[in-house]
Structure 1
Amino acid sequence: MSHRVPQGHSSNPVLDRLERLVAEVGDLQSKLILLVGNSSKTLLLRQLAQRLSVAPRNVGATLGHRLAATPVAERGFSTNELLRDITDTARGNAPLLLDNLEVLFEPSLKINPLDMIKRLAHSRRVVAVWPGELRDDRLVYARMGHPEYRDYTRDGVVVFEAT
Protein backbone atom coordinates (compact mmCIF):
# COMPACT_ATOMS: atom_id res chain seq x y z
CA MET A 1 0.00 0.00 0.00
CA SER A 2 1.54 3.30 -1.05
CA HIS A 3 1.13 6.51 0.85
CA ARG A 4 0.35 9.53 -1.32
CA VAL A 5 1.58 12.97 -0.39
CA PRO A 6 -0.37 16.03 -1.59
CA GLN A 7 1.22 17.56 -4.69
CA GLY A 8 3.70 20.35 -3.89
CA HIS A 9 3.98 19.39 -0.23
CA SER A 10 6.37 16.56 0.53
CA SER A 11 6.36 14.69 3.79
CA ASN A 12 9.40 15.84 5.73
CA PRO A 13 8.99 15.77 9.54
CA VAL A 14 12.04 17.98 10.19
CA LEU A 15 10.83 20.62 7.73
CA ASP A 16 7.28 20.38 9.17
CA ARG A 17 8.67 20.97 12.68
CA LEU A 18 10.74 23.96 11.50
CA GLU A 19 7.77 25.47 9.68
CA ARG A 20 5.63 25.22 12.85
CA LEU A 21 8.42 26.84 14.89
CA VAL A 22 8.69 29.73 12.41
CA ALA A 23 4.95 30.33 12.79
CA GLU A 24 5.16 30.23 16.62
CA VAL A 25 8.30 32.35 17.10
CA GLY A 26 6.45 35.54 16.08
CA ASP A 27 5.09 35.82 19.63
CA LEU A 28 8.56 35.96 21.21
CA GLN A 29 10.61 39.12 21.90
CA SER A 30 13.51 37.79 19.85
CA LYS A 31 12.24 36.12 16.72
CA LEU A 32 15.57 34.51 15.79
CA ILE A 33 15.82 30.83 14.92
CA LEU A 34 19.31 29.48 14.30
CA LEU A 35 19.66 26.26 12.35
CA VAL A 36 22.49 24.25 13.90
CA GLY A 37 23.76 20.73 13.44
CA ASN A 38 25.83 18.58 11.16
CA SER A 39 23.20 17.85 8.55
CA SER A 40 22.50 19.99 5.52
CA LYS A 41 21.26 23.19 7.13
CA THR A 42 21.39 25.09 3.84
CA LEU A 43 19.24 22.46 2.15
CA LEU A 44 16.71 22.70 5.00
CA LEU A 45 16.66 26.51 4.67
CA ARG A 46 16.08 26.21 0.90
CA GLN A 47 13.25 23.73 1.45
CA LEU A 48 11.67 26.11 3.97
CA ALA A 49 12.09 28.98 1.50
CA GLN A 50 10.35 26.99 -1.20
CA ARG A 51 7.52 26.00 1.12
CA LEU A 52 7.00 29.60 2.29
CA SER A 53 7.60 31.13 -1.16
CA VAL A 54 10.40 33.31 0.24
CA ALA A 55 13.84 33.86 -1.28
CA PRO A 56 16.71 33.08 1.11
CA ARG A 57 19.43 35.74 1.37
CA ASN A 58 23.03 34.76 0.70
CA VAL A 59 24.65 37.17 3.17
CA GLY A 60 28.20 36.20 2.21
CA ALA A 61 27.81 36.96 -1.48
CA THR A 62 25.66 40.06 -1.17
CA LEU A 63 27.27 41.67 1.86
CA GLY A 64 30.76 40.62 0.78
CA HIS A 65 30.26 42.36 -2.57
CA ARG A 66 29.07 45.57 -0.90
CA LEU A 67 31.85 45.51 1.71
CA ALA A 68 34.43 45.13 -1.05
CA ALA A 69 33.22 48.46 -2.46
CA THR A 70 33.47 50.11 0.99
CA PRO A 71 36.75 51.66 2.17
CA VAL A 72 38.47 49.33 4.67
CA ALA A 73 38.38 51.90 7.48
CA GLU A 74 34.58 52.23 7.13
CA ARG A 75 33.63 48.54 6.84
CA GLY A 76 33.03 47.91 10.54
CA PHE A 77 30.76 50.94 10.82
CA SER A 78 28.96 50.19 7.55
CA THR A 79 28.25 46.49 8.08
CA ASN A 80 25.04 46.93 10.09
CA GLU A 81 23.62 49.47 7.64
CA LEU A 82 24.57 47.35 4.62
CA LEU A 83 23.02 44.24 6.18
CA ARG A 84 19.80 46.16 6.87
CA ASP A 85 19.73 47.37 3.24
CA ILE A 86 20.07 43.77 2.05
CA THR A 87 17.35 42.45 4.34
CA ASP A 88 14.87 45.35 4.08
CA THR A 89 13.92 44.20 0.60
CA ALA A 90 12.30 41.05 2.01
CA ARG A 91 8.57 41.06 1.45
CA GLY A 92 5.96 41.96 4.06
CA ASN A 93 5.54 39.72 7.05
CA ALA A 94 7.48 36.82 5.55
CA PRO A 95 10.37 35.50 7.64
CA LEU A 96 13.86 36.58 6.68
CA LEU A 97 15.96 33.54 5.70
CA LEU A 98 19.73 34.02 5.96
CA ASP A 99 22.58 31.79 4.85
CA ASN A 100 26.36 32.08 4.48
CA LEU A 101 26.95 34.32 7.49
CA GLU A 102 30.70 33.64 7.61
CA VAL A 103 31.56 37.12 6.26
CA LEU A 104 30.20 38.62 9.52
CA PHE A 105 32.97 36.86 11.47
CA GLU A 106 35.78 38.67 9.62
CA PRO A 107 37.95 40.02 12.49
CA SER A 108 38.68 43.33 10.73
CA LEU A 109 34.96 44.25 10.91
CA LYS A 110 35.16 44.30 14.74
CA ILE A 111 31.46 43.45 15.09
CA ASN A 112 29.46 40.93 17.07
CA PRO A 113 27.80 38.78 14.37
CA LEU A 114 25.22 37.18 16.66
CA ASP A 115 24.11 40.52 18.12
CA MET A 116 23.77 41.92 14.61
CA ILE A 117 21.48 39.06 13.57
CA LYS A 118 19.55 39.33 16.86
CA ARG A 119 18.84 43.01 16.14
CA LEU A 120 17.29 42.06 12.80
CA ALA A 121 15.05 39.62 14.68
CA HIS A 122 13.51 42.19 17.03
CA SER A 123 11.05 43.40 14.42
CA ARG A 124 10.64 40.32 12.21
CA ARG A 125 11.10 36.56 12.19
CA VAL A 126 14.59 35.50 11.12
CA VAL A 127 15.79 31.99 10.33
CA ALA A 128 19.56 31.81 9.89
CA VAL A 129 21.99 29.00 9.22
CA TRP A 130 24.56 29.06 12.04
CA PRO A 131 27.94 28.48 10.36
CA GLY A 132 29.45 26.97 13.49
CA GLU A 133 28.20 24.36 15.88
CA LEU A 134 26.38 23.87 19.16
CA ARG A 135 28.94 22.71 21.73
CA ASP A 136 28.01 22.14 25.37
CA ASP A 137 24.85 24.21 24.85
CA ARG A 138 26.90 27.13 23.43
CA LEU A 139 27.02 28.53 19.91
CA VAL A 140 30.61 28.27 18.72
CA TYR A 141 32.23 29.48 15.51
CA ALA A 142 35.74 28.36 14.52
CA ARG A 143 38.28 26.74 16.83
CA MET A 144 39.77 28.35 19.90
CA GLY A 145 42.89 30.26 18.88
CA HIS A 146 41.57 30.99 15.38
CA PRO A 147 41.21 34.76 14.67
CA GLU A 148 37.47 34.34 13.93
CA TYR A 149 36.73 32.22 17.03
CA ARG A 150 33.49 33.16 18.81
CA ASP A 151 31.62 31.53 21.68
CA TYR A 152 28.09 32.65 22.64
CA THR A 153 25.30 31.61 24.98
CA ARG A 154 21.94 30.67 23.48
CA ASP A 155 20.25 33.60 25.25
CA GLY A 156 17.71 35.35 23.03
CA VAL A 157 17.94 32.67 20.35
CA VAL A 158 15.73 29.72 19.45
CA VAL A 159 18.03 26.90 18.41
CA PHE A 160 16.71 24.38 15.90
CA GLU A 161 18.88 21.32 15.66
CA ALA A 162 18.77 20.03 12.11
CA THR A 163 19.31 16.31 12.53
Structure 2
Amino acid sequence: MLTRLDRLVDEIAALHSKLILLVGRPGCGKSALLAELANQRGMKVMNVGAVLGKRLAALPQRQRALQANVALRELADEYASGDLLLLDNIELLFDQSLKLDPLDLLKRHAHARRVVAVWPGELRDGRLIYAEMGHPEYQDYGLDGLVPFEIETVG
Protein backbone atom coordinates (compact mmCIF):
# COMPACT_ATOMS: atom_id res chain seq x y z
CA MET A 1 0.00 0.00 0.00
CA LEU A 2 2.90 2.37 0.74
CA THR A 3 4.27 1.78 -2.76
CA ARG A 4 0.91 2.61 -4.31
CA LEU A 5 0.58 5.81 -2.23
CA ASP A 6 4.17 6.85 -2.96
CA ARG A 7 3.58 6.44 -6.71
CA LEU A 8 0.32 8.42 -6.50
CA VAL A 9 2.09 11.27 -4.67
CA ASP A 10 4.50 11.53 -7.59
CA GLU A 11 1.72 11.27 -10.20
CA ILE A 12 -0.40 14.13 -8.81
CA ALA A 13 2.39 16.69 -9.24
CA ALA A 14 1.02 17.63 -12.68
CA LEU A 15 -2.57 18.19 -11.46
CA HIS A 16 -4.02 21.63 -10.72
CA SER A 17 -5.18 20.55 -7.26
CA LYS A 18 -2.65 18.17 -5.76
CA LEU A 19 -4.65 16.84 -2.79
CA ILE A 20 -4.70 13.20 -1.70
CA LEU A 21 -6.96 12.28 1.21
CA LEU A 22 -6.34 9.04 3.06
CA VAL A 23 -9.80 7.70 3.80
CA GLY A 24 -10.91 4.68 5.81
CA ARG A 25 -12.54 3.49 9.00
CA PRO A 26 -11.02 4.53 12.34
CA GLY A 27 -8.11 2.25 13.20
CA CYS A 28 -7.52 1.07 9.62
CA GLY A 29 -3.99 2.51 9.53
CA LYS A 30 -4.31 5.91 7.83
CA SER A 31 -1.96 7.69 10.26
CA ALA A 32 0.48 4.79 10.23
CA LEU A 33 0.59 4.82 6.41
CA LEU A 34 1.19 8.59 6.41
CA ALA A 35 3.99 8.12 8.96
CA GLU A 36 5.56 5.42 6.74
CA LEU A 37 5.41 7.77 3.76
CA ALA A 38 7.02 10.53 5.82
CA ASN A 39 9.76 8.17 7.01
CA GLN A 40 10.44 6.91 3.47
CA ARG A 41 10.74 10.48 2.18
CA GLY A 42 12.67 11.82 5.19
CA MET A 43 9.89 14.20 6.23
CA LYS A 44 7.79 15.15 9.23
CA VAL A 45 4.02 14.83 9.44
CA MET A 46 2.31 17.99 10.63
CA ASN A 47 -0.07 17.20 13.49
CA VAL A 48 -2.51 20.03 12.73
CA GLY A 49 -4.41 19.73 16.00
CA ALA A 50 -1.26 19.98 18.10
CA VAL A 51 0.75 22.64 16.26
CA LEU A 52 -2.10 24.84 15.02
CA GLY A 53 -3.88 24.44 18.35
CA LYS A 54 -0.78 25.59 20.21
CA ARG A 55 -0.37 28.59 17.90
CA LEU A 56 -4.04 29.59 18.23
CA ALA A 57 -4.15 29.05 22.00
CA ALA A 58 -1.65 31.88 22.37
CA LEU A 59 -4.17 34.27 20.76
CA PRO A 60 -7.23 35.91 22.31
CA GLN A 61 -10.42 33.94 21.49
CA ARG A 62 -11.77 36.56 19.06
CA GLN A 63 -8.50 36.61 17.08
CA ARG A 64 -8.36 32.86 16.49
CA ALA A 65 -10.83 32.76 13.58
CA LEU A 66 -9.05 35.68 11.93
CA GLN A 67 -5.59 34.17 12.31
CA ALA A 68 -6.28 30.44 11.75
CA ASN A 69 -5.74 30.51 7.98
CA VAL A 70 -2.55 32.61 8.23
CA ALA A 71 -1.18 30.43 11.04
CA LEU A 72 -1.88 27.25 9.07
CA ARG A 73 -0.11 28.65 6.00
CA GLU A 74 2.96 29.59 8.08
CA LEU A 75 3.04 26.16 9.71
CA ALA A 76 2.61 24.45 6.33
CA ASP A 77 5.64 26.34 5.04
CA GLU A 78 7.64 25.10 8.06
CA TYR A 79 6.55 21.46 7.70
CA ALA A 80 6.59 21.06 3.92
CA SER A 81 9.51 19.31 2.33
CA GLY A 82 9.95 20.76 -1.13
CA ASP A 83 6.50 20.76 -2.67
CA LEU A 84 5.03 18.08 -0.39
CA LEU A 85 3.05 18.56 2.83
CA LEU A 86 1.80 15.71 5.03
CA LEU A 87 -1.10 16.46 7.42
CA ASP A 88 -2.68 14.42 10.20
CA ASN A 89 -5.15 15.15 13.00
CA ILE A 90 -6.97 17.87 11.06
CA GLU A 91 -10.11 17.77 13.25
CA LEU A 92 -9.35 21.24 14.63
CA LEU A 93 -10.10 22.67 11.18
CA PHE A 94 -13.74 21.63 11.67
CA ASP A 95 -14.09 23.65 14.90
CA GLN A 96 -17.00 25.99 14.20
CA SER A 97 -15.48 28.84 16.18
CA LEU A 98 -12.69 29.07 13.56
CA LYS A 99 -15.21 29.59 10.73
CA LEU A 100 -13.14 27.58 8.24
CA ASP A 101 -14.16 25.36 5.35
CA PRO A 102 -11.69 22.53 6.02
CA LEU A 103 -11.76 20.89 2.59
CA ASP A 104 -11.57 24.20 0.74
CA LEU A 105 -8.61 25.15 2.91
CA LEU A 106 -6.82 21.89 2.07
CA LYS A 107 -7.55 22.36 -1.62
CA ARG A 108 -6.12 25.89 -1.56
CA HIS A 109 -2.92 24.55 0.01
CA ALA A 110 -2.87 21.86 -2.69
CA HIS A 111 -2.64 24.44 -5.50
CA ALA A 112 0.85 25.44 -4.39
CA ARG A 113 2.15 22.02 -3.31
CA ARG A 114 1.21 18.37 -3.09
CA VAL A 115 -0.77 17.67 0.08
CA VAL A 116 -1.47 14.27 1.61
CA ALA A 117 -3.89 14.42 4.55
CA VAL A 118 -5.65 11.90 6.74
CA TRP A 119 -9.41 12.47 6.41
CA PRO A 120 -11.01 12.04 9.84
CA GLY A 121 -14.40 11.09 8.44
CA GLU A 122 -15.51 8.58 5.86
CA LEU A 123 -16.20 8.14 2.17
CA ARG A 124 -19.85 7.21 1.74
CA ASP A 125 -21.68 6.92 -1.60
CA GLY A 126 -18.97 8.93 -3.37
CA ARG A 127 -19.11 11.75 -0.79
CA LEU A 128 -16.70 12.75 1.96
CA ILE A 129 -18.50 12.91 5.28
CA TYR A 130 -17.27 14.38 8.56
CA ALA A 131 -19.37 13.77 11.69
CA GLU A 132 -22.98 12.64 11.58
CA MET A 133 -25.90 14.63 10.23
CA GLY A 134 -27.23 16.85 13.02
CA HIS A 135 -23.81 17.24 14.64
CA PRO A 136 -22.69 20.91 14.68
CA GLU A 137 -19.48 20.08 12.78
CA TYR A 138 -21.21 17.88 10.16
CA GLN A 139 -19.77 18.34 6.65
CA ASP A 140 -20.65 16.63 3.36
CA TYR A 141 -18.40 17.18 0.33
CA GLY A 142 -18.09 15.99 -3.25
CA LEU A 143 -14.80 14.61 -4.55
CA ASP A 144 -13.98 17.40 -7.03
CA GLY A 145 -10.41 18.66 -6.82
CA LEU A 146 -8.99 15.79 -4.78
CA VAL A 147 -7.87 12.18 -5.02
CA PRO A 148 -9.30 9.84 -2.38
CA PHE A 149 -6.95 7.03 -1.34
CA GLU A 150 -9.10 4.40 0.33
CA ILE A 151 -7.66 2.12 2.99
CA GLU A 152 -9.82 -0.93 3.55
CA THR A 153 -8.04 -2.95 6.20
CA VAL A 154 -5.58 -2.63 9.03
CA GLY A 155 -1.98 -3.16 8.00
TM bucket by the smaller chain?
Answer: over 0.9
Q: What is the TM-score normalised by the length of structure 1?
A: 0.89
2:18 is matched with 31
Q: Distance in 1 between matches of 2:94 and 2:81?
A: 28
2:6 is matched with 19
Structure richer in helix, relative to its length: 2
Query: Which letter maps to 1:42?
Result: S
1:48 correspondence with 2:48: no
Could you tell me how far 1:71 is from its partner in structure 2?
1.5
2:115 is matched with 126
> Which runs of no fewer than 5 residues in structure 2 stay unpaired?
none
1:11 is matched with none
Q: Distance in 2 between matches of 1:53 and 1:141?
A: 30
**How big is each residue's C-alpha offset from its partner over 1:105-159, in whole Å with a ceiling of 9 and x where there is no partner?**
0011111011111111101000000010101110110001111111111110111
Kept in 1, the 8 Å contact 2:93–2:100? The answer is: yes
Query: Which letter maps to 2:92?
Result: V
Kept in 2, the 8 Å contact 1:54–1:94? The answer is: no
SS at match of 1:148: coil
> Which runs of no fewer than 5 residues in structure 1 stay unpaired?
1-13
**How big is each residue's C-alpha offset from its partner over 1:33-58, in whole Å with a ceiling of 9 and x where there is no partner?**
00001211000000110111111100
Query: Which letter maps to 1:88?
Result: D
1:86 is matched with 75
Question: CA-atom RMSD, angstroms?
Answer: 1.0
Q: What is the TM-score normalised by the length of structure 2?
A: 0.93
Of the three residues 51, 54, 60, the one matched with 1:65 is: 54
Name the CA shift for 1:108/1:94 in 2 (closer, same or farther; >3 Å). Answer: same
- Tell me how many residue pairs correspond in the alignment: 150
SS at match of 2:87: strand
Could you tell me how far 1:75 is from its partner in structure 2?
1.3
Query: Which letter maps to 1:153?
Result: G
Kept in 1, the 8 Å contact 2:90–2:120? The answer is: yes
Kept in 1, the 8 Å contact 2:20–2:147? The answer is: yes
- Higher-Rg structure is 1
1:100 is matched with 89
Could you tell me how far 1:94 is from its partner in structure 2?
4.5
